[in-house]
Structure 1
Amino acid sequence: MKILHIIRSCDPKAGGPIEGVTQLSKCYKELGHQLSVVTLDLDDADFVKNQTLFEVFALGSGKKSTYGYSKKLIPWLTLHCHEYDVIVINGIWQYHSFAAHRVLIKAKKPYYIFTHGMLDPWFKRAYPLKHLKKYLYWWWGEYPVLRDAKQVLFTCEEEKIQARESFWPYRCQEQVVSYGTAGCIGDQDLQKQLFLETYPQLQGKRYLLFLSRIHPKKGVDLLIEAFSKVYSAADDTILVIAGPDQVGMQSNLTQLAERLGVAEKIVWPGMLSGDLKWGAYLNADAFVLPSHQENFGIVVAEALSANVPVLISNKVNIWREIVEDNAGLVANDDLVGCESLLSQWQHIDDVAKDNMRVNARVCFKNRYEITKASSFLLGLFEG
């Protein structure tokens, strides 16, 4: 099959959606299928020019806009959409989904769409004015995209349920699909060594790892405050906060850490990838993600694959599976909940922690390993 994914950006800094596409492309290729990607990136972007896993058609206009308008997208899709057996739209609220719907309906070409958590009601509560603007757009812009899709794909049951609560009218063909990642690959001993050599201040230290975009919805401020309350100056545990600072939060967060007296106990590596990223996971005592909203959490699956227990909020939509498999701890996405996560972990004995590490890997293999996800999706597309 020839499969086309339409997505706002293939920049790795954009987070989980493009990582999911990347992982699926590897599996599709091994099974003899071809995946191509249309994006609204500029064609001279390094991450476009250096992409070797799949063909990228970058049609960006160069204008700085989160909406991502491009006059090239509709003509390109009109000319090429019939060349593909399957078309998947990734994400909503941006020009690529609106334009794709406009072309594909006219061409009578069926399509699937991943909402990637963008219908979560948390956004309605957190940004009420923005939600009102979205409501005006919903009627004529985004609702038809979902209504007319062959299937709207959700990465877990919780995401599907939550999506029903944000906008009205809401009618679509819902489908929960398997989703995941390839997990920890490579020489783990070398990866662990590389990370500690790169960040020697972590040698011989126990650390908690946050690895995700630094964004208001991720609860990083809660994490720093909870860390300051649970881990005293006498405790040598370190907090590693790794990820791209997309909205300029880090300076405020470092000031918060200074006010709370824990600035010396926090390491900020920035965005990690490849062996450095896996080394960060493999050396971690636990992974922490106190998000206010997370439709799936590729980084949670990655941590599980590296035998790392996950300490997450109950707004990470796969939290029920984590509890069921005893692969980590779950609490509310507030300061009390975040403190509870860290305090519980601090007081768990080593035997229980080791058992949870084993459970983490089993949870990953049974639920989130990418070959199962790709087989599920291919079966859906071929059905």
Structure 2
Amino acid sequence: MKILHITPSYYPATKFGGPIFSMKIINQYLSINNYIEVITSQAGIKKEINTCFVDKIKVKYLPYYFNENFTFSPKLITYLIKNIHKFDLIQINSIWNFHFLIGTIFCILFNKPYVLFPKGSLDKNAVYANNKTIKLLYLKLIIKLINKSASIIYSSRLEKNDSVDGIDNKNCEVIANPIEKPKKTTKIKRQKIILYLGRIAKNKGVAELINQFIQTKLEYQLIIAGEIEDVKYYQKIKELSKGDKRIKLLNNQNTNKKSKLISQSFCTILSSIVNENFGNSIAESLVLETPVIVSSKAGISEYVKKYNCGVTINPEKYSLVQAVEFIEKNYTKYQINGKRLVIEKFDAKIVVQKINKLYAKIIKQHYD
């Protein structure tokens, strides 16, 4: 199969969080038996790149204008006119951007099947939280483009069930985000650390987590590490934290540092206060046999609950002390169950095998 991936941003634009990593892994494993090419923008790239190879996959980064979120890129039109006919199937992730709009239109014009990875962009919260009126108008314009897709791949049932009204989910699939198991792991001594690893943003409930923590007498360190999405919110976090020596704030961590930090932590926590499609930091923790505390607002919570590999909390009302006590009592059990969950649901080979099978079926049906 020849697959073209159209996306507004791509690795190394890690500031956009989990979807960047999950799509990178999907492409990496799909490319083993297929030809993959990525067309994206320079959004989120610190150093300007035009074309390079990521995991031996050709990635073309086009310049964009105006808003980083919409990524208006006229050169995308030129690229698609010249190249879209070469591919059997197009995969597109995220909805609220120029790449989705032009990508889907060209797929229809050139009779190419396309698959959507919304990555949370079809959640009700994504529509209603900011610029609601503009988004609802835009949604009315693009709803047919969404529903003409050959399939929509959601990361969890929560993401699917929370999709906005009008989405035709009859051809949808629920396939978890893939996680790569580390090739070599060095045993690191566990420390009394509760780790939050993710973007520093309001919807992640970081301020609420800190408020919870400072009211306890837990003899643990709380480490907050991640990309600063909102500078004003980060200043609020700093202000909340400075009176408690148990709290440590770190910058965004690279892959190696992140793995080391997870491995030495007692547990990781995802405290999201609004729905999010998955929760990659939780999956990364389970790979490294670190038990988790996860908000019921995160799509991955359904997996954690089913496999009993951590504590699921209601982010609006929970006891951090109680959650930690549950993990202390069930530590080994949570580690064993988490390992089983990773093997059965999150392993990159298994996840991409499902996607590959789906793509082959779509192509066969479309061109026969």
Cα distance in 1 for residues equivalent to 2:80 and 2:302? 39
State the partner residue of 2:178: 181
Distance 1:223 1:174, change over 3 A: farther
Taking the TM superposition and a 5 Å limit, the aligned residue runs for 1:139-154 are 139-140=140-141, 142-154=142-154
Q: 2:239 aligns with which of 251, 255, 258?
A: 255
CA shift, 1:312, in A, is 0.9
Alignment-derived partner of residue 296 in structure 2: 314
Q: CA deviation at 1:245?
A: 0.3
CA contact (8 A) 1:179 1:373 kept: yes
Task: Name the SS for the 1:268 alignment partner.
Answer: strand
Moved more, 91-100 or 241-250: 241-250
Aligned to 1:199: none
Moved over 6 A (4+): 47-50
1: distance between equivalents of 2:171 and 2:299?
Answer: 16
Aligned AA for 1:2?
K
Q: What letter corresponds to residue 297 of structure 1 in structure 2?
A: G
Among 58, 63, 72, the residue aligned to 1:60? 63
Number of residues paired by the alignment? Answer: 355
| Cα separation, partners in 2 of 1:88 and 1:185, compared to 1, 3 Å | same
Q: How does 1:86-101 map to 2 (within 5 A)?
A: 86-101=89-104
Q: Is the 8 A contact 1:157 1:176 kept in 2?
A: no
Superposed, 1:353-364 pairs within 5 Å as 353-364=331-342
Partner of 2:314: 332
Q: Does 1:210 align with 2:192?
A: no
* Conserved 8 A contact 1:150-1:173: no
Partner of 2:167 in structure 1?
Answer: 170
Tell me how far 1:39 sits from its aligned partner.
0.7
What residue is the counterpart of 1:299 in the other structure?
281
Name the structure 2 match of 1:120: 123
In 2, the alpha carbon distance for the partners of 1:106 and 1:220 equals: 45
CA distance in 2, matches of 1:93, 1:114: 12
- 1:328 deviates by 0.8
Alignment of 1:1-383 (within 5 A): 1-10=1-10, 11-30=13-32, 32-41=33-42, 45=47, 51-53=53-55, 54-124=57-127, 126-127=129-130, 130-140=131-141, 142-163=142-163, 166-167=164-165, 169-189=166-186, 192=188, 205-230=191-216, 232=217, 235-248=218-231, 249-258=233-242, 261-262=243-244, 264-291=245-272, 292-334=274-316, 336-337=317-318, 340=319, 342-348=320-326, 350-383=328-361
SS of residue in 2 equivalent to 1:348: helix
Out of 350-359 and 82-91, give the one that drifted further.
350-359
C-alpha distance in 2 between matches for 1:332 and 1:283? 26
Determine if contact 1:177/1:376 at 8 Å carries over to the other structure. no
Distance 1:365 1:229 in 2: 37
Kept in 2: contact 1:4–1:87 (CA 8 A): yes
Amino acid in the other structure paired with 1:207: I
Displacement of 1:49 in angstroms is 6.3
Look up the equivalent residue of 1:21 and give its one-letter code: M
Report if the CA contact (8 A) 1:183-1:306 is conserved.
no
Task: Show CA shifts across 1:3-32 (max 9, x none).
Answer: 2111111112211222112112222233x2
Instruction: Look up the equivalent residue of 2:229 and give its one-letter code.
Output: Q
1:188 match: secondary structure: coil
User: What SS does the corresponding residue of 1:343 show, helix, strand or coil?
Assistant: helix
Of 241-250 and 368-377, more deviation after overlay is shown by: 241-250
Structure with higher helix content: 1
Describe the SS at the equivalent of 2:31.
helix
- Letter of the aligned partner of 1:237 in structure 2? Y
C-alpha distance in structure 2 between counterparts of 1:61 and 1:27, whole Å: 28
Q: Is the 8 A contact 1:152 1:173 kept in 2?
A: no
Return the offset for 1:239. 0.8
TM-score by length of 1: 0.86
Report the CA distance shift for 1:133/1:274 in structure 2 as closer, same or farther (over 3 A): same
- Go from structure 1 to structure 2 and tell me whether the alpha carbon gap of 1:285 and 1:160 turns closer, same or farther (over 3 Å shift): same
- Using the alignment, how far apart are the partners of 1:115 and 1:250 within structure 2? 27
1:349 Cα deviation from its structure 2 partner: 6.7
1:282 aligned counterpart, secondary structure: helix
SS of equivalent to 2:322:
helix
Percentage of matched positions with identical amino acids: 24
Query: CA separation in 1, counterparts of 2:50 and 2:74?
Result: 19
Structure 2, unaligned runs of 5 or more: 362-368
8 Å contact from structure 1 (residues 180, 368) kept in 2: yes
Change (3 A) 1:173 1:96: farther
Displacement of 1:173: 4.1
Distance 1:154 1:36 in 2: 22
Relative to structure 1, the CA distance from residue 120 to residue 375 in structure 2 (aligned partners, 3 Å threshold; closer, same or farther) is same
Q: Give the drift of 1:65.
A: 3.1
CA apart distance, 1:267: 1.8
